Amino acid sequence: MRGCSRSYAQLLSQLQNQANMEENPNLLLEPYIHLQDLDTDILRNSCMVYPSVFPSEDALRALSKPGFLHAVHATLGRLWNSLTALQKQLLQDQDLPRLTITKHNIQGMRNNIHCLAWWLGSPLETSEPTQGGSRVSLTPTPALDVFWSKMKSCRLLWGYHHFIGLVGRVFREWEDNPNRSRRHSPLRLVLPKGTRKIRPSRRGQRPVRRAQRPR
Amino acid sequence: MLFLISSCLAVLAERFQLTPQLLHVSVNSSLQRVYLQWTIPNLTYHQELKMVFQIEISQIKKSNVILVANHSSAVRGDRAVHWSWDSELPLECVTHFVRVRGALDDARAPQPGSWSKWSPWEEAHVSLGPNELLVYPKEKLVEEGSNVTFCWISGVNLNNISCYLSGIAIHGERLDAHVSTFKWNNVLFHRDTGTNFFCRHTNPTTYDGVTVFVSKVLEEPKDFSCETRDFRTLSCTWKPGVDTALAWSKQPSQRYALFEWVSGENKHCELKNSCNWQITQDSQELYNFTLTAENYLRKRSVNIAFNVSHRVHPKAPHDVNFDDVSATRARMTWRVHSRGKSHTFLCQVELHCEGQMIQEHNVSVHESGEQLFGDLQPDTRYKAQVRCADANHFWKWSEWTPRNFHTLEAAPSEAPDAWRTVTSENGRRKVALFWKSPSKSRVNGKFPFYNIVVKNMENSSEVQQHALQAPVNSTWLSLGQSSYLIQITFTNSQGTSPALVMGISRDSGNEEVEAERVDGTKEGFMISWKPQTRDVVGYVVDWCANSQGQHCNLQWKNLGPNATSTNISSDAFKKGVRYNFRVYEISAHRIAHLIQKNVGYIQELAPLKSPDVILSNPTSHSFVLNWTTYATESQPGFIEGYHVYVKSKDAQCPQEWEEVVLKGDTHFSAPDTLRREVLGYIFSIGGSTFTTKPSLPYMLLQIILSMTMCVLFLLGLCYWKSQWVKEKCYPDIPDPYKSSIRSLIKSKKPPLTIMSVKDCIPDALEIINKSEGTKTQGGGTGKLHAENAPTKLAYLRLLPTEGSSGPGPCICFENFTYNQPASDCGSCGHISVPPRDPPYHLELLTSPNNLLNVLEKDYTNSLGEIPAEQSSLNYVSQLASLVCGDKDSLATDPPMPQHCSEYKMQMNISLSSMILLGQGKH
């Protein structure tokens, strides 16, 4: 394919490196927590909820390689839009300088995934759809007030680092058998201490406000 | 008519209760503002009345009235009355009640109307589920320094709520069972992303929060001003102050707008610190601007009014050129951006050379100007710059327009500044010529050549010519013994300088002048001289900047004919360096005569190096020291003299050094007062130490004399000793009273046991000899005096009974002066007496100290190694007793060991014996 590396190993290596780099929460999550005045144990714990917008580990591991690539590609595409929306919340880009680099890396990963899918003989157009979360928009809901938008963006970033870490581990498992396109063998996902659960959850989301306006 | 209206109003007020009807109650949550709309239903559309309304607001319950406000308004039947109220407490926190009533307030009414009935209460409240927790106000935007009141409402199941402001726990004030508030006073700006306030309930877990955005206070624009550079555009600038923008699109940066009051035009400014305003072409000269800064919370404005012709900031001059540039002059021309010939500009022109401004001119200009620069240096680079301002109403200078130019070269204007030194070597003279690098004012051009012409004044055919190019600044000539004339000039592309002429006479280089000291100071050296001749055109003082040596770096100073002194100062002068100055008199024939030499230091320092001293001709009583190689001129001060320190080598006790001070001499011979053996000497300016060696004959003589004295002394001592021994040990007649033990016994007076002679059983009595006059000693108390002693010794021997085997009672007349070992003493016969009273012996031995001392001294060798229990049986071989005691029988009776004569008793026993004897005398 034009513009793609012909080396499977090189593509895989690049994806692994990109995932390893973006997995670090000190790049985005921590600066965001400090920037948005969320640096308390209560809010941090509330932030560490794997958003339902990301595919779960079980869902990803249940996919074939092309399906996995398709799911990651699609999720990263939505994530890129979400980060763009998040960027607009800032007064200036310098407040979260790593965000722009992350967006570039997401585009680079998507390109590499596209090439890898082509290398595997399963272009993304023919890939099976990702299970779970694919239809959920990652764009912050405008109706949320600022506090809950901060919390949602915080979860988005935590989920991003977590999701990228998961993707990286899967890619590392691909090193041994590049031609294998069967489903992955299940792998337990080791979560950081204090994480409540992996599966998509609605807990911790903003409660429904039922206050009545004065008549 | 008026009466009619008043009557109608009165009827109205009476007939219709003007009770307001609340049409709409709305809330702006972020502003915490309540909007009320009401009408007076009974009014017709065309009726208009002035009324006053009273609004009552209660919180939590109707009886808890927190506000009663009056509001006057004209009312019509077709128009609603609007009113709003800002609540300190978020409106969502508690239930609010509101009602309104009105009264006529019309001047046409005959009497003030009474209040109508209250409208029905309108209620606004929040209802929430049993496990819900809500925090208010949402999205609050406040300015720094204001107050914010938070409230939180919890459901019936939530009782233990914790709240945090920016992560810090706070304690609220409880309004009722489920509503609490917290007032944050005098809020400060922390971050543009807002400050979070949230509350949490742990079981069941739920939380809610809000973000409060604190805006910085909008500042008034500063330094607002407008000006024009082209009469087409007014450029207005200001300092905007802090940016009050907030994230999350809560507040953009403050916006700025210009409003011009004369034209009534308004313009929104794109930039936050400047704005351009188009000047209208209808000859508007006066402008009155208001600059407004605005954000969501505040507006700040500043105003200026001006005549545009007074705010002209000209553009920088252009077309700056130089023409007619010569070696010393240049003309500069330029043009200005002018509105016409009627407009006058004031232009400022500056001329710079080597970074310094050397000329400044002000020129009035309409459209173009010019300036002539004079007194310029040839072959010099200059920078000229010009700027202009409105001459009639000065506002601001334009920017500078700089240009560089270079003046042309010119012929050198002055003669070189040169000097020479003359030294004679092997019948010829070596003339070293030096000249100073000429200043630009002397050279006036580039790449000067130095031309040197040497003429022999006694042989016109002998002419030497030399040409040297800069930067060479010295050369040397080899001349004969004739008189010479040296001419030095330098040349550039434009011509040759005047010549410097120096004459070399026959005497040059051979002058002998004694150098005099001159005292230097930090300010330099003051050199004074007396004029030698009248025919003088000047003086020259020269010196070496680097003191003496090859790197002299000759310096000189030219002085006029009337000078008799000068101060030579230089930053190169250093402490501790000797400087030599020579004063030359320049005659009318340009010949220099050395008239004076001076030598001195800026400041003298202590000598750093000791002389290298050579010791020569050392004898037993003299020596010579030389340090002729010591270079005094290179010392950091004048050498006033030397200190030689001398002390005797044979001094037993520490002896002070003897100091000899020498003035100027570089050798030292030991003077008469020091002509003895010396240990060494030390120079005061060094630590050298020399030791002279005594001569061999003297040493031998000293040894021989010493030995001779020792031998004589020993001989005399032996003689005396022998006499003394003879007298004490074996006198002609032994005299116990002469024994020194008597004195001991006397002095101690111990309890004595008297031994009688009769206790001894004589076996035989033999009279050996008895001289007349000898007193019998048997129990008598008479003394045997030496002067009465007979010349022939007589011995009384008590012979033991034959057959007696054990030690019998013996008497030993022992001379106690026999403290020496038996080998060198005369022994005596003695009689062994067994110990009779050992304790007594012990007492005797321990009590008399003197005696003990004697014993210890005399018998250390014999007793020292013997155990105490054996000490009573310590024997010393005493075969000599007979020999000693019977000298005369030596030849006839060979010594035979006999009882009581073979052994000298061990000392303690003999002591007992002697004590017994002594006691017997008493």
Q: Say whether pLDDT at B887 is over 70.
A: no
Question: Confidence class of residue B443 from pLDDT cuts 50, 70 and 90?
Answer: confident
Q: Pick the range with the lowest mean pLDDT from A184-198, B162-176, B255-269.
A: A184-198
Is the pTM higher than 0.80? The answer reads no
- On whether any CB of chain A is under 8 Å from the CB of B394, the answer is no
B693: left (phi over 0), alpha (psi -120 to 50) or beta: beta
Q: Which of B32, B196, B213, B250 to mutate to test the interface with A (most CBs of A within 10 A)?
A: B196
Write the residue in A40, A206, A210 that is nearest to B167 by C-beta: A40
Q: Give A18 or A199, the one with higher predicted confidence.
A: A18
Question: Confidence class of residue A203 from pLDDT cuts 50, 70 and 90?
Answer: very low
pLDDT at A41: 93
| All residues at 6 or more sequence positions from B398 whose CB lies less than 8 Å from its CB, including other chains | B313, B314, B315, B316, B317, B387, B388, B389
Largest CA distance in chain B: 202
DSSP letters, B818-833, are --S-GGGS--------
Write the residue in A39, A40, A212 that is nearest to B126 by C-beta: A212
pLDDT tens per residue, range B139-152: 889 999 999 999 99
B579: left (phi over 0), alpha (psi -120 to 50) or beta: beta
What type of residue is B629?
T
pLDDT at B856: 39
Cα–Cα distance between B575 and A197 in angstroms, integer? 87
Share of chain A above pLDDT 70, in %: 72
pLDDT at B649: 63
CB within 8 Å: A211 and B92:
yes
Q: Which residue has the tokens 């919890």?
A: B154
Cα–Cα distance between B77 and B49 in angstroms, integer? 9
SS3 content of chain A, % helix, strand, coil (to 5): 55, 0, 45
pLDDT tens per residue, range B12-24: 555 456 788 888 8
pLDDT tens per residue, range B464-502: 999 988 788 899 899 888 899 999 998 888 889 899 999
Name the pairing type of β-strands B515-517 and B592-601: parallel
- Residues on chain B touching A207 (C-beta within 8 angstroms): 132-134, 206, 208
Cα–Cα distance between B671 and B678 in angstroms, integer? 12
Cα–Cα distance between B28 and B33 in angstroms, integer? 5
pLDDT at B657: 66
Cα–Cα distance between B232 and B751 in angstroms, integer? 150
pLDDT tens per residue, range B91-117: 888 888 999 999 888 766 655 668 888
pLDDT at B869: 36
Determine if the peptide bond prior to B897 is cis (ω within 30°).
no
Q: Pick the range with the lowest mean pLDDT from A18-22, A134-138, B906-910.
A: B906-910
pLDDT at A104: 94
- Quote the mean pLDDT of chain B: 76
Question: Confidence class of residue B255 from pLDDT cuts 50, 70 and 90?
Answer: very high
pLDDT tens per residue, range B522-555: 889 999 999 888 789 999 999 988 765 557 888 9
Q: Which residue has the tokens 């394919």?
A: A1
Question: Confidence class of residue B843 from pLDDT cuts 50, 70 and 90?
Answer: very low
pLDDT at B909: 34
Strand partners, B542: B556, B582
Q: Say whether pLDDT at B792 is over 60.
A: no
CA B470 and chain centroid, separation: 47
Q: Which of B398, B420, B394 is nearest to B334 (CA)?
A: B398
Give, for B450, the enclosing helix (H) or strand (E).
strand B449-456
pLDDT at B730: 67
- On whether any CB of chain A is under 8 Å from the CB of B337, the answer is no
SS3 B799: strand
Q: Which of A148, A158, A167, A132 is nearest to A52 (CA)?
A: A132
Cα–Cα distance between B231 and B225 in angstroms, integer? 16
pLDDT tens per residue, range B211-226: 999 999 999 999 999 9
pLDDT tens per residue, range B228-251: 998 889 999 999 999 999 999 999
CB within 8 Å: B193 and A37:
yes
| All residues at 6 or more sequence positions from A176 whose CB lies less than 8 Å from its CB, including other chains | none
- Residues on chain B touching A90 (C-beta within 8 angstroms): 193, 247
Q: Say whether pLDDT at B609 is over 60.
A: yes
Q: Which of B47, B33, B3 is nearest to B140 (CA)?
A: B33
Cα–Cα distance between B109 and B3 in angstroms, integer? 9
Q: How far is B223 from chain A (nearest CA, A)?
A: 27
Q: What is the ipTM of this complex?
A: 0.78
- On whether any CB of chain A is under 8 Å from the CB of B132, the answer is yes
Positive/negative CA dihedral, A137, A139, A140, A143: negative
pLDDT at B427: 82
Question: Sheet harboring B678-680: ordered strands across?
Answer: B658-662, B642-648, B678-680
- Residues on chain A touching B32 (C-beta within 8 angstroms): none
Token code pair at residue B789 = 């002693």
Question: Confidence class of residue B682 from pLDDT cuts 50, 70 and 90?
Answer: very low
Q: Give B299 or A50, the one with higher predicted confidence.
A: B299
Q: Say whether pLDDT at A75 is over 50.
A: yes
CB within 8 Å: B134 and A150:
no
pLDDT at B802: 39
Q: Pick the range with the lowest mean pLDDT from B15-24, B50-59, B342-351.
A: B15-24
What type of residue is B263?
S
pLDDT at B360: 96
Are the C-beta atoms of B794 and B784 separated by less than 8 Å? no
Residue B727 backbone dihedrals phi, psi, to 5 degrees: -70, -40
What mean pLDDT comes out for the span B419-434?
Answer: 89
pLDDT tens per residue, range B724-760: 887 776 666 655 555 554 554 444 444 444 444 444 4
List the Cα angle B443/B448/B449 in 5-degree steps: 130
What type of residue is B135?
V
Task: Please state, as a whole number, how many other Cβ atoms lie within 10 Å of the Cβ of residue A104.
Answer: 11
What mean pLDDT comes out for the span B787-809?
Answer: 37
Exposure class string for A183-200: b at 16+ Cβ within 10 A, else e: ebeeeebebeeeeeebeb
Share of chain B above pLDDT 70, in %: 69
pLDDT at A4: 82
Are the C-beta atoms of A31 and A98 separated by less than 8 Å? yes
Where would I find the beta strands (DSSP E) of B569-713?
A: 578-587, 592-601, 614-616, 624-626, 642-648, 658-662, 667-669, 678-680
pLDDT at B819: 39
Are the C-beta atoms of B682 and B689 separated by less than 8 Å? yes
pLDDT at B308: 92
Cα–Cα distance between B430 and B262 in angstroms, integer? 93
CB within 8 Å: A37 and B191:
yes
pLDDT at B628: 75
Q: Which residue has the tokens 């116990």?
A: B736
Are the C-beta atoms of A153 and A32 separated by less than 8 Å? yes
Q: How far is A213 from chain B (nearest CA, A)?
A: 7
- On whether any CB of chain A is under 8 Å from the CB of B16, the answer is no
Q: Say whether pLDDT at A200 is over 90.
A: no
Determine if the peptide bond prior to B137 is cis (ω within 30°).
yes
Q: Which residue has the tokens 């030599």?
A: B580
pLDDT tens per residue, range B649-680: 655 565 666 676 666 666 666 655 554 444 44
